[in-house]
Amino acid sequence: MTFTWLILAMSILVIAEIALNHRAQARGIDEARRERGRLSQFPSVSVIRPIRGADVGAAENFAAALDNGYPGEIETIFVFDDAEDPGYPIAQKAIADHQARGGHGAAEIVIAGTPPRGMTGKLHAMIVGEERARHELVAFGDSDTRPDRDVLRATVETLLTTPQAGCAFAPVVADQPAVRAGDVGYATMLNMWYGASVATVSSRVGDLPFIMGQLMVFRRECLRDIGGVACARGELVDDMAIGRCATRAGWRNVMAPHPLHIATGGMSYAEFLKLSRRWMLFGRNGMPFEFTRPMWMRGIEFWVAAAALLLALAGHHWLLAVAPALALVIFEASLLAINKRFGGAPVAWRYLWVPFMLPVTAPAQLAYGLVDKRVDWRGRAYDLDMNARLA
């Protein structure tokens, strides 16, 4: 009888926690997506896009970055290590096509050269682009994103209508239908875990001590006070480090309401595991526990329900196993509903196993990150210290 009550209590507690967590995240996403201040006039913006390699849909990504719908003066600076990069001719063609159509804004390609020791290639490209930028605001956009015609405008409006905001960034969402299991894994991590957690806390506290920098826009005064993006020298996670620099300098980092779409397609699950390991390193280095707490609670929900199910099955209590099994079904249903609310594509039936795998593999990924301190990122290998900074 005691065993039965233990399994039932574990299951009921998990279901209650799932309901509370789901309610908080749903409200957080809705509040984070609420439109705020609007501008009648828009300052000029320099958008720097560091690029290494050719991402999935690179041509469409570059075309979208140029056809951005921004109502003010704008320049886009594509920064490569060298002209041999496979993305270089794609960017050349995107610029030529944009100019041939009479598209709004200027665009150019800049060669940054080999990054110095103690600095990631991306940060080096960002520094070179920042030095080249000539407009009032400076923005940075990742090469694997596909901005629509509203996201840059909304991010600038958030920056300029929020008191003491030094940087505004757009929430990133994986919104394309999955081609392979890794695409669902990426959506699980990005939409259901990281994105939902950051939106929940951001909507409650108003600003953040870090930046999720797939698209981030800075005031010049903020960059001046922090010494430019070079303040992240020595860091693997440049955007979170820059956000900490801005916070220390008295500026606020705020999240814009309009989402930024990230291009995915054809990622195997093995490739996703490598990507998720990098994201866990990113989170370990830059996200305080207050912001990772909802993700830890998600993991606890899963493992308590899974443990209760295994105990019931091991004791041959088949009817009793229904309670923790129901908790796991509700766990999955909550994740899928959060994914839809966040803007993700529906998950096909054949991939419903994938959202369960993130909490299954996460403990091993975290442990592995403490043992193997080398990470491969866009063709370069970086050795890390215990704090996930460059060794």
- Residue 67 is classified by DSSP as S
Lowest average pLDDT, out of 80-84, 196-200, 343-347, goes to: 196-200
Segment 115-121 mean pLDDT: 88
**Any idea which fold 37-276 has?**
Spore Coat Polysaccharide Biosynthesis Protein SpsA; Chain A (3.90.550)
Quickly count: other Cβ atoms within 10 Å of residue 115's Cβ: 17
The percent of residues in the chain predicted with pLDDT above 90, rounded, is 67
Model pLDDT for residues 161-215, shown as the tens digit of each residue: 999 999 999 999 999 999 999 999 999 999 999 889 888 888 777 788 888 889 9
Segment 36-44 mean pLDDT: 90
Q: What is the Cα–Cα distance from 370 to 387, expressed in whole angstroms?
A: 9
Q: What is the Cα–Cα distance from 15 to 298, expressed in whole angstroms?
A: 11
Model pLDDT for residues 276-317, shown as the tens digit of each residue: 877 776 666 556 777 778 888 899 999 999 999 999 999 888
Is 52:87 a contact under the CB 8 Å cutoff?
yes
For the chain, the structural domain boundaries read 2-28+288-383, 37-276
pTM: 0.90
Is 97:18 a contact under the CB 8 Å cutoff?
no
Q: What is the Cα–Cα distance from 301 to 283, expressed in whole angstroms?
A: 20
